[in-house]
Chains A and B, each alone.
Chain A
Amino acid sequence: DQQVKQNSPSLSVQEGRISILNCDYTNSMFDYFLWYKKYPAEGPTFLISISSIKDKNEDGRFTVFLNKSAKHLSLHIVPSQPGDSAVYFCAAKIPPGYGGSQGNLIFGKGTKLSVKP
């Protein structure tokens, strides 16, 4: 049973437009969410995170929105650039004492973003 789901395997966007990557989760105990970007032959690179007590976090061109009632988060990239083309992973953590630990990040399967010039 997958607790973190990224239902779109791929997304294609024109340079300069907005990219919206979506992630759904099933476990209401998740307290921390992260987005990672991964280029081929490299490890995942941390992009941005959000605590469950917030509904928005912004860092430059990247904004993450959290809708706890819908168990949904999204990553917005504005404006999109060709260098943003990569696989994006959503990850979530359960707090200690609720069946999780400081170690256990649960990842989605990723969405491949292609930004066309």
Chain B
Amino acid sequence: DTGVSQNPRHKITKRGQNVTFRCDPISEHNRLYWYRQTLGQGPEFLTYFQNEAQLEKSRLLSDRFSAERPKGSFSTLEIQRTEQGDSAMYLCASSLGTGEDNQPQHFGDGTRLSIL
């Protein structure tokens, strides 16, 4: 399978705990994105990497959230001191592109986070 891979698929944790999700993009894709989706809503953009550089962060990405893509391949999204409102599906996407060309983003199946 050469698609975007996300692990774990489901994470249940107690409020206040830290969680970390991993995303492995399509191998030749240099761009990687994180989104969050809650029930009845479309995905909402969180952050974007081109290679290892984090080029944009949404206002939704509070100080408790941090994302990394250390070698320009896989990425991790960490949430510290989780809150009830963090319960959502966290989606990773990747695309191939340079400059201002438009290429579709391809999504993984997401990590569903449930905060008890």
Q: What's the least CB distance linking A116 to chain B, in Å?
A: 23
Could you say which residues of chain A place their CB within 8 Å of the CB of B33? 103, 105
B85 interface hit (Cβ, 8 Å): no
Report the interface size class on chain B: 20 to 34
Which of A36, A44, A49, A104 lies in contact with B48, CB distance below 8 A?
A: A104
User: Contacts A43-B108, A46-B105 known; A102 to B45 CB distance under 8 Å?
Assistant: no
Which of B4, B41, B91, B104 lies in contact with A34, CB distance below 8 A?
A: B104
Q: What's the least CB distance linking A38 to chain B, in Å?
A: 9
Which residue of chain B lies nearest to A9 when distances are taken between CB atoms in the complex? Answer: B40
Which residue of chain B lies nearest to A110 when distances are taken between CB atoms in the complex? Answer: B42
Could you say which residues of chain B place their CB within 8 Å of the CB of A4? 42
A67 interface hit (Cβ, 8 Å): no
User: Contacts A44-B107, A46-B105 known; A107 to B44 CB distance under 8 Å?
Assistant: yes
- Taking a contact as CB atoms under 8 Å apart, the answer to whether A41 and B109 are in contact is yes
Q: How far is the CA of A95 from the CA of B104 in the complex (A)?
A: 14
- Taking a contact as CB atoms under 8 Å apart, the answer to whether B100 and A44 are in contact is no
Which of B43, B58, B106, B108 lies in contact with A46, CB distance below 8 A?
A: B106
A7 interface hit (Cβ, 8 Å): no
- Taking a contact as CB atoms under 8 Å apart, the answer to whether A43 and B110 are in contact is yes
Which residue of chain B lies nearest to A103 when distances are taken between CB atoms in the complex? Answer: B48
A86 interface hit (Cβ, 8 Å): no
Which residue of chain A lies nearest to B9 when distances are taken between CB atoms in the complex? Answer: A41
Which of A31, A95, A102, A109 lies in contact with B42, CB distance below 8 A?
A: A109
* 25 A-B contacts (beta carbon < 8 Å): A32-B102, A43-B91, A43-B93, A43-B107, A44-B91, A46-B104, A46-B105, A46-B106, A49-B102, A91-B42, A95-B100, A96-B100, A101-B55, A101-B56, A102-B50, A102-B55, A102-B100, A104-B48, A104-B58, A105-B45, A105-B105, A108-B42, A109-B41, A109-B42, A110-B42
Given contacts A103-B55, A110-B42, 4 further A-B contacts (CB under 8 A): A34-B104, A43-B109, A49-B104, A105-B43
Which 5 pairs from chain A and chain B are nearest by CB?
Answer: A103-B48, A107-B42, A43-B107, A32-B102, A46-B104
